[in-house]
Amino acid sequence: MSAESTWKLSAHAPRPVIEAALLAHELVADWDAELVIAGRELAEDRPGDWVLEAWYPRKPGPEVIAAIERLFAGGAPPLAIEELPPADWVTLSQHTTPPIRAGRFHVHTPDFPPDPGLIDLVIPAAQAFGTGHHHTTAGCLEMLGHIRASGLIARRIADIGTGTGLLAFAARALWPTAQLTLTDIDPVCAGVVAANAEMNAVPLGPGPGAALMIVADGMADPLIALRAPFDLLIANILAGPLVEMAEDFGKAVRPGGSLLLAGLLAGAQEDAVCRAMRRAGFRPVARLQRGDWAILWLRRRRAARPA
C-alpha cells in the first residue's frame, strides 16, 4: 500500500472467534489481495479479548464488508470503519509485529534482527496468517522440532495449505536436503511463497533442498501423487478438510511416515480428526495444545509382516 489514505475495519470478539475467522480466511480462494487482515489481543492483561483488523486502500464498499463478515461462521460482530491519515500501514505493521520464538525457531518481520542462537525465518507481517503468531502455526513449529529430535529421516516433505510457506521453510531448516512440495488452493500464495523463499534463501524447483509450489485443491493434483510417498506431510488447515482428506493422506504418506496436523480445536474437532486418521491407517504419537488449538503428530502404520 502506498502512503495514501487507508481505511481500517475492526471487529472485536473473543479470541477463539477471531482465530477461527483468520483460519477461514485461508480457505478463501478469491480473496482480494488489497485487503490485508490480522488479528491480535487487545492488551496483555486481557488475553481473551481480541480484534480482527483489516486495511483497505480506499473506502470499502459492500463487497469488502461482506467478505469480512463471511469469515465469521456464527455471525459477524459489529464492524467499525474509519479513515486513517496518510501512512504506509504495511510498513508500520512490520515495526509493530513482534518476533516470536517457537521451539527452535525465531520468526520475525524484515524490520527485526535475527537471533543467532535459533533457526531464523523472515515472514512479512502483511501476510496475516502463517507468520507464526497464530497458535496453530507456532505449535507446528514446536512440534517439528520434536519430530526432528525423534530421529525421523525425511527425504520428501509436503506442506498442504502452505499459505506463506513458513512451515515448509522450517522443515527444510531441519532436513536441508529434503525435496519440498508446497500446495495451496489460493493462487496468490504462489507469488507469496516465491517472495518468501527468496527472503529465506530457499531455492525453488523440484530437486533436493528445493521447494516446488503447486496450486491445488487439497491433494487434487497429479504432480502431488508423482512426488509421493512423503516421509513427512504437514497440514495446518481446518478440521473439516482434514477429515475429508484423511484417506488421501493415508495414500500419500509412506508406511512409517509422519503426519503433522493443526487447525483443529481441542475437543470434538480433535476427536473427529483422530477417528478419521485412525481409519486411514495413522496412530497418534504426540500432541501439543496451544490455547484452544490441538497440534497432532501421527505416524502411518507399517504393513503387517506376512505370517
| pLDDT band at residue 130 under the 50/70/90 scheme | very low
Give which of 85, 16, 38, 83 is closest to 263, Cα–Cα: 16
Kindly state whether residues 81 and 159 are assigned to the same domain.
no
Q: pTM above 0.85?
A: no
Kindly state whether residues 245 and 142 are assigned to the same domain.
yes
Kindly state whether residues 73 and 121 are assigned to the same domain.
no
Q: Is the pLDDT of residue 233 over 60?
A: yes
Kindly state whether residues 192 and 81 are assigned to the same domain.
no
CATH value at residue 146? 3.40.50.150
What does the alpha-carbon distance between residue 221 and residue 100 come to, in Å, rounded to a whole number?
A: 34
Total of domains in the chain: 2
Calculate the average pLDDT of the chain: 87
**Quick check: is 182 in a domain?**
yes
Q: Is the pLDDT of residue 307 over 80?
A: no
| pLDDT band at residue 81 under the 50/70/90 scheme | very high
Q: Which residue, 96, 125, 151, sits at the end of a domain?
A: 96
Q: Is the pLDDT of residue 168 over 80?
A: yes
What does the alpha-carbon distance between residue 69 and residue 56 come to, in Å, rounded to a whole number?
A: 15
DSSP codes joined into one string, 142-184: HHHHHHHHTT---SEEEEET-TTSHHHHHHHHHSTT-EEEEEE
**Quick check: is 21 in a domain?**
yes
Cell numbers that stand for 6 in this block: 487507508
pLDDT tens-place string over residues 263-306: 888 889 999 999 999 999 999 999 999 878 899 999 999 865 44
> What pLDDT score does 280 carry?
97
As a whole-number percent, the residues of the chain with pLDDT over 90 amount to 55
CATH value at residue 86? 3.40.462.20
Range 16-29 average pLDDT:
83
Kindly state whether residues 105 and 179 are assigned to the same domain.
yes
Kindly state whether residues 145 and 8 are assigned to the same domain.
no
pLDDT tens-place string over residues 198-228: 999 999 999 999 999 999 988 989 999 999 9
Kindly state whether residues 44 and 189 are assigned to the same domain.
no
**Quick check: is 305 in a domain?**
no
Give which of 42, 262, 230, 13 is closest to 130, Cα–Cα: 262
Contacts of 36 (CB under 8 A, 6+ apart): 1, 54, 55, 56, 89, 90, 93, 126, 128
Cell numbers that stand for 221 in this block: 493434483
**Quick check: is 307 in a domain?**
no
**Quick check: is 109 in a domain?**
yes
- Residue 51: which domain range? 4-96
Kindly state whether residues 170 and 254 are assigned to the same domain.
yes
Range 68-86 average pLDDT:
88
Q: Which residue, 65, 80, 96, sits at the end of a domain?
A: 96
What does the alpha-carbon distance between residue 280 and residue 109 come to, in Å, rounded to a whole number?
A: 38
> What pLDDT score does 97 carry?
61
Question: 3-class SS at 271?
Answer: helix
CB 115 within 8 A of CB 101: yes
**Quick check: is 241 in a domain?**
yes
Range 44-48 average pLDDT:
77
Range 136-144 average pLDDT:
91
Kindly state whether residues 83 and 228 are assigned to the same domain.
no
